[in-house]
Amino acid sequence: MSFIESCSSVNNCSRIKCKGKYFCVEELLYKGPFSNVFVVSDRLHRYAMKTEQKVGNLRPVLKIEATVLKEMNVQAVAGFPQIIAAGQTVIYKYIIMQLVGPDLQRLRMSIPEQKFSLATSLRIALQTLDRIHSLHANGWISRDIKANNFCIGYDDIQIIYMLDFGLARRYLQKNGQLIAERKSAALMGTIHYASLRAHNFLDQSRKDDLESWFYMLIEMINGNLPWLKYEPRTQYMLIGEWKQFARESGRCKLLKNCPQEFDEIMKIIDGAR
């Protein structure tokens, strides 16, 4: 039975026992509304541990996240953290996984100009697109593509890892058949990077992940998106209107400083099914 010896809370020096192995909590990396991330170690290696409360959690994510990562690990897909262990205590569920470095959003914001060079942005674009393709090839869509969900490696900074699959959903059945599209769906994901279909409360597909990836890429190059000034919770309709405007006379403003090929990329994504 897995347990945390300090069961009332997870903090520094808490110990987790899983499959006869002890992990010691070293520090809190991230505290979020639905889950927390800690650095843990087994004396030989350091890992990341993500926890969520078993009771009262409005959006449980660990089960779906562990499912996605396990499937990607079984396929030995590059760029997805390895799951080391998973379990639960009286209060918490947790997964222990490969420790990665800082996310792309944090890296970009640490630069004085708060944007990457075009060359760096395009290298990032290729790796992140490859990760999204791998996820899609295994029957999943993310529904939350953004720079925060891509991290550089802890040991090898040349590798970009994709993570945070709490909003992921299967679009393919196990037999390879497409899952029937729903007539309507909740607006899932991060509003600033959500697709037009998401804004219209339509079921998301692979193209919606690509649209979010495209917005992420533009932000890396320009350091901004035209609609970032709007508050996502109260002004999500204005954000959606701006994205529609970007398909019309606002296209040049959105693609400012981007290679001319981006116009064609946008057409391909918009034309996808």
Q: Put the strands of the sheet holding 160-162 in their side by side order.
A: 100-103, 150-153, 160-162
- 148 DSSP 8-state letter: G
Helix and strand numbers, DSSP H then E, in the chain: 8, 12
Contact between residue 61 and residue 166 where contact means Cβ atoms under 8 Å apart: yes
Contact between residue 167 and residue 148 where contact means Cβ atoms under 8 Å apart: no
176 Rama sector, left if φ>0, alpha if ψ -120 to 50, beta otherwise: left
Catalytic residue among 103, 144, 164, 208: 144
> Amino acid identity of 195?
S
Distance CA 36, CA 59 (A): 13
Whether 144 is catalytic: yes
67 Rama sector, left if φ>0, alpha if ψ -120 to 50, beta otherwise: alpha
Q: Put the strands of the sheet holding 46-53 in their side by side order.
A: 3-4, 15-18, 21-31, 36-41, 46-53, 92-98, 83-88
- Tally of CA atoms within 13 A in the half-sphere of 16 that contains its CB: 34
Catalytic residues: 144
